Amino acid sequence: MNLLEEVIHYYQTNQAGFWQATQQHLVLSSAAMLISLVVGLPIGIWIAHRTRIAQVTINIFNSLRVIPSLAILFLVLPYLGLGFTPSLVALTFLAFTPVLINTYTGLRGVDRSVIESATGMGMSKKQILFQIEIPLAIPAIVTGIRIASVEVISSATLASFIGGGGLGDFITRGFALFDVPIMLVGAIPVALLALASESVWSIFLFLYQKPYAA
C-alpha cells in the first residue's frame, strides 16, 4: 500500500470519527471567527474615529500578537481548564487582532477628500459611516477576515492538545504512534479548509471591487 492508499484506508475505517472531528473543527473555527467579528468590528469602527485610543489599542494588540498560539492555549489552561471553551477563547483572541487592525486601517484609509465632500454635502456622521466609510473599508476588513480565518483554521489543530477536539486529534494521534498516514488524515483536510476559506474571501473581494476598480 502506498501512502495515499493508507490515508484513504484509515479514513474509511474511521469515518465517523473523522466527520465528527471535522465538524468540531469547523464549529470551533466558525465560533471563534464569529465572536471576533461581533466584538472586533464595532471596536475597530469605534476607535477609527478616536486616534488616541486607537494608537494605544492597536499597540497593545500588536505586541500581544507575538505570543505563539500554542502559548495562548497553555496560558488560558489554568483559568479555563480543558476542552472546548479554552480553545475557543484562544482562537478568538488569535482572530481578533487582524479583524480589529484591518477594520481600523480600512476606515482610516478612506480618502480624506471623500469624507470632506460627504460632510460638506450635508451627510450625517451615521450616513457617512454606513454609506461611505464602511463600503470603502470592506476590502481591508475582508482581508483581515481572510487572514484571521486561515490562521484560526490552522491553529484550531492545536486545540487537540488541551482536549478541544477537531482535526488536530488525528495529527496528535499520528504523532504519538509515529504514523504518518494518520497525521495526514488530519493535516490534509485542515490545509484544504484553510485554502477554501482563503479562496472564498479572495473571490468575494474580487467580485466586490470589480465594478469600481479602474
Partner 1 sequence: MQTSKVKPGELTTEGEPTHNNVIRSGEIVCQEVTKHFPENSRPAVDHVSFKVAAGDLVVLLGPSGCGKTTLLKMINRLYEPDQGQIWIGKEDIQTLPVNQLRRQIGYAIQQVGLFPHMTIWRNIAIVPRLLGWDEEKINMRCNLLLELVGLSPTYLGRYPRQLSGGEQQRVGLARALAADPQILLMDEPFAAVDAINRERLQSELLIIHRKLHKTILFVTHDVEEAFRLADKIIILKDGQLIQYGTPVEIVVKPENEFVAELVGSNNLLRKLSLFDVQSLLEAKQYERHNSFSKASFTSIQPQENLRTALSMLLESGAEQLHVVDNKGKSHGVITFQDLHRLLFEQFTSPAAELE
- Using rule CB under 8 A, residue 207 touches partner 1: no
Nearer to partner 1, 16 or 207 (CB): 207
The four Cα atoms 106, 112, 117, 123 give a dihedral, to 10 degrees, of 40
**Residue burial 86-122, b: 16+ Cβ < 10 Å; e: rest:** bbbbbbbbbbbbbbbbbbbbbbbebeeeeeeebeeee
Q: What angle is formed at CA 86 by the lines to CA 150 and CA 99, rounded to 5 degrees? A: 35
Quote the least distance from Cβ 117 to partner 1, whole Å.
3
Q: Which H or E run includes 91? A: helix 84-108
Quote the least distance from Cβ 208 to partner 1, whole Å.
9
- Using rule CB under 8 A, residue 51 touches partner 1: no
- Using rule CB under 8 A, residue 212 touches partner 1: yes
Quote the least distance from Cβ 196 to partner 1, whole Å.
27
Q: How many residues bind partner 1 (CB under 8 A)?
A: 21
Nearer to partner 1, 12 or 113 (CB): 113
Nearer to partner 1, 43 or 138 (CB): 138
Q: Which of 68, 41, 34, 24 is nearest to 193 (CA)?
A: 24
The span from the CA of 167 to the CA of 139, in Å, is 30
Q: How far apart are the first and last CA of the chain?
A: 54
* Amino acid identity at 74: F
Instruction: Let me know: does 97 contact 61? Beta carbons within 8 Å.
Output: yes
Nearer to partner 1, 106 or 168 (CB): 106
* Amino acid identity at 54: A
Quote the least distance from Cβ 136 to partner 1, whole Å.
6
Binding mask 82-121 for partner 1 (x = CB under 8 A): -----------------------------x-xxxxxxxxx
Judged by CB under 8 A, the residue of 2, 12, 66, 211 near partner 1 is 211
Quote the least distance from Cβ 195 to partner 1, whole Å.
29
Q: Between residue 122 and residue 141, which ones bind partner 1 under the rule CB under 8 A? A: 122-124, 127, 132, 135-136
Mention every residue, 6+ apart, whose C-beta is less than 8 A from residue 212: none
Residues that bind partner 1 (CB under 8 A): 111, 113-124, 127, 132, 135-136, 211-214
